[in-house]
Amino acid sequence: MYINKITFHSLSAILFILFTLVSANSSANETSVEAPNFTLKSNNTKNIKLSELRGQVVLINFWASWCGPCRQEMPELNKLYAKYKDLGFTIMGVNVEENPTEALKIIKDDKINFPILFDSENKVSQLYEVTAMPTSVLVSRSGHIRYIHRAYKPDDIEKYKKWVKELIRE
């Protein structure tokens, strides 16, 4: 147990340093660090574990219902998911709110088709050093973080498309 705590804290410290260095003056950054594994309950009550998605390109999107840019981004992410899901791409929307009531309403109203996970204790968002809403992390088929993007503007979806196509081809 003691070793696991040391390992977890060491990994968190390394990730914090890396994310800080990588995010110095940009909202989108390329890295190649292994994505920390996690398991969260999804909107269909099934637990989803990141490591079980190895072999797929995964976009982890941290969001909240109170975040205007997050709500703008969700329908665009839904379109991105629909376009590339058959090519080995998935999205994991990670809602960071303690109470998922509003998130569930948005999922239903916007007909979101990709899995939504609930990080009500913010453990995963802390593990990924989420400092802005929304934050998207693109993970390669090999399980490495390749891009980190903080915030959202409407033309950002074009960056996502470019990155997703690049990672699908690898």
Contact 63, 134 (CB under 8 A): yes
CATH 3.90.226.10 fits 2-169, yes or no: no
DSSP designation for 37: P
Contact 65, 94 (CB under 8 A): no
Instruction: Name the E strands within the chain.
Output: 28-30, 39-41, 47-49, 57-63, 89-95, 116-118, 135-139, 145-150
Please give the pLDDT value at position 83: 97
Residues of the chain with pLDDT under 70: 1-31
φ, ψ for residue 149, nearest 5 deg = -130, 125
How many CA atoms within 13 Å lie on the side-chain side of 130?
A: 21
Please give the pLDDT value at position 28: 53
- pTM assigned to the model: 0.82
DSSP designation for 140: -
Please give the pLDDT value at position 10: 43
Please give the pLDDT value at position 21: 36
Please give the pLDDT value at position 45: 78
Please give the pLDDT value at position 29: 57
List the domain boundaries for the chain: 2-169
Buried b (16+ CB within 10 A) or exposed e, 51-67: eebeebbbbbbbbbbeb
β-strands 47-49, 89-95 pairing: unpaired
